[in-house]
Amino acid sequence: MSTIVSSWNDFDPLKHVIVGRADNTCISPSEPASKAKVPLDSPMRGMTGPRTLDTVEKANVQLDSLVKLLESRGVKVDRPTPIQFNQAVVTPNFMTGSMFGCMPPRDVLLTVGNEILAAPMSFRARYFEYLAYWPLMRQYFDEDKNFRFEQAPRPELGDNSYDMAYFDDHITEDILLERTAKLHMVTKEYEILFDAADILRMGKDLFCQHGLTTNRKAMEYLRRHFPNHRIHAVNFPGDPYPIHIDATFVPLRPGLIINNPTRKLPEPQRKIFEANGWEIHDAALSAHTEPPALCYSSVWLSMNCLVLDHKTVIVEESEKAQCEQMDKLGMNVLPLAFRDAYPFGGGLHCATADVHREGTCEDYFPKQVPGTRIDL
Ligand code: DAV
């Protein structure tokens, strides 16, 4: 038997990856957590139902072209099995009218070494999304005797899990900015809540964004679940809808990170990077002033790139400034059209989940300093 699953970071040479599919994706009904995510002025507010077939087909064309590009670079690609997402989710604690989709595997699957940990998820509509990945997980389990196939505690996601009074008629973006800077999120500390895309994997250190989809209890859970790792809490004031770290803080290779210039890592949290000689660069501005129609994410998907190795990165092709910046930083940039896929759950990093990268669990931060560590 050979090793199928092994990945410790987002930059070592990529060998095997899961790429999502757009089939059957729904705009799910408003719920406590997504109310907080869908921007106040978005036409998506109040909209629900399956996405139109022409938009699904266009997104799949671009997802398929990502698959072709990866395969041409020698990367093995697996795909999830879309389920009928246009069905209600009913549990003892909540009901909601539909599921979401399986375009962004990064949100669900956290790969740490020989383990893939399925996240609890913080949106009710995404409660059963893991099922789209279970056929692959079963296959890896059969083929790789060291694969640890794990699921984080399933959350209740009842009304106790959210601040149900977070949204009222007087809410404004300024109020949201004030609250998120103070770490007052719509998700409470009632139970362990995280999406996998809030966790940045860098060898022995896991940096977790405290935001709408990941709470402090999740970090404490990760500390106990991964006893050989060091768990850090980071947050990025400036984002009224903080969700997922991968359009905010993105490593390109050991020692080099780009940070969203409108969501800067606070000074005390920068110390660990400075102490270990890492450079943090402001990311280039997006070429766009608006995301595509009916998209949950911001224009900052410009920095949501997929690193293939320490010198190669796939970037959305219209993001010329971002491509140029990465080129100057010494990366070989592979541009790829991907904006038709954005509304289905994000950019190039979101649309993928690591199965195998070369390399081992390195210590990139031998000098640990207070400021981010949840247990220091
Ligand atoms: O900037 O809207 C998108 C992250 C998606 N995984 C943003 C964050």
4 domain-assigned: no
Find the domain containing 157 and state its range: 14-357
- Determine the residue of 304, 322, 342 to mutate for testing ligand 1's pocket, defined as the one with the most ligand atoms within 8 A of the Cβ atom: 304
Q: Is residue 373 part of a domain?
A: no
The reported pLDDT for the residue numbered 234 is: 98
Residue 9 has pLDDT above 90, yes or no: yes
Tell whether ligand 1 has an atom less than 6 A from the beta carbon of residue 346.
Answer: yes
* Predicted local distance difference test score (pLDDT) of residue 47: 84
Which residues are part of the catalytic machinery?
A: 195, 244, 350
- Which pLDDT value is given to residue 37? 67
Domain contains 287: yes
Asked whether 39 lines ligand 1 (CB < 6 A), one says no
Lowest mean pLDDT, pick from 132-141, 168-177, 265-274: 168-177
25-78, pLDDT tens digit by residue? 999 998 988 776 676 677 777 789 999 999 999 999 999 999 999 999 999 999
Residue 297 alpha carbon, nearest atom of ligand 1: 2
Please report the pLDDT score of residue 44 as a whole number. 78
CA of 296 to the centre of ligand 1 (A): 8
Atom number in ligand 1 closest to CA 291: 2
Ligand 1: nearest atom to the Cα of 239: 1
- pLDDT at position 339: 98
Q: How many Å apart are CA 282 and CA 19, to the nearest integer?
A: 28
Span 14-23, pLDDT tens digits: 999 999 999 9
Rounded (10°) CA dihedral 61, 66, 69, 72: -90
User: How sure is the predictor about 351, in pLDDT bands with cuts at 50, 70 and 90?
Assistant: very high
Query: What is the CATH number for 308?
Result: 3.75.10.10
d(CA 90, CA 254): 44
Whether residue 2 lies inside any domain: the answer is no
Give percent of the chain above pLDDT 90. 91
Question: For a pLDDT cut of 70, what percent of the chain falls above it?
Answer: 98
The C-alpha atoms of residue 154 and residue 92 are separated, in whole angstroms, by 12
Q: Is 246 in the pocket of ligand 1 (CB under 6 A)?
A: yes
Q: How many domains does the chain have?
A: 1
CA–centroid distance, 203 to ligand 1, in Å, is: 23
Domain presence at residue 363 = no
Q: Is residue 35 part of a domain?
A: yes
Ligand 1 atom nearest the C-alpha of 243 is 8
Cα separation, 51 vs 284, whole angstroms:
31
Residue nearest to atom 5 of ligand 1 (CA): 346
Kindly state whether residue 58 falls inside one of the protein's structural domains.
yes
Q: For residue 142, how far is its CA from the centre of ligand 1 (angstroms)?
A: 34
β strands within 205-363, DSSP E: 205-209, 230-234, 249-253, 256-259, 279-282, 306-309, 312-316, 332-336, 352-357
Q: Which residue would you say has higher pLDDT here, 194 or 32? A: 194
DSSP strands (E only) in the chain: 14-19, 26-27, 49-50, 76-78, 89-90, 95-96, 109-112, 115-118, 148-151, 199-202, 205-209, 230-234, 249-253, 256-259, 279-282, 306-309, 312-316, 332-336, 352-357
pLDDT given for residue 35 in this prediction: 75
Q: What are phi and psi of 184, to 5 degrees?
A: -95, 105
Ligand 1 in contact with 243 (CB < 6 A)?
A: yes
374 inside domain: no
What is the residue-averaged pLDDT of the chain? 96
Query: The pTM is what?
Result: 0.97
* pLDDT for residue 36: 63
Residue nearest to atom 3 of ligand 1 (CA): 297
Please check the confidence at residue 179 and state whether its pLDDT lies above 70.
yes
- Cα(136) to ligand 1 centroid in Å equals 25
Cα of 114 vs centre of ligand 1, distance in Å, is 27
Of the candidates 113, 105, 108, the one whose C-alpha atom is nearest the C-alpha of residue 144 is 113
- The token pair at 55 is 């938009």
> Which residues are within 8 A (CB) of 237 and not within 5 positions of it... i.e. 6 or more apart?
177, 180, 181, 263, 264, 266
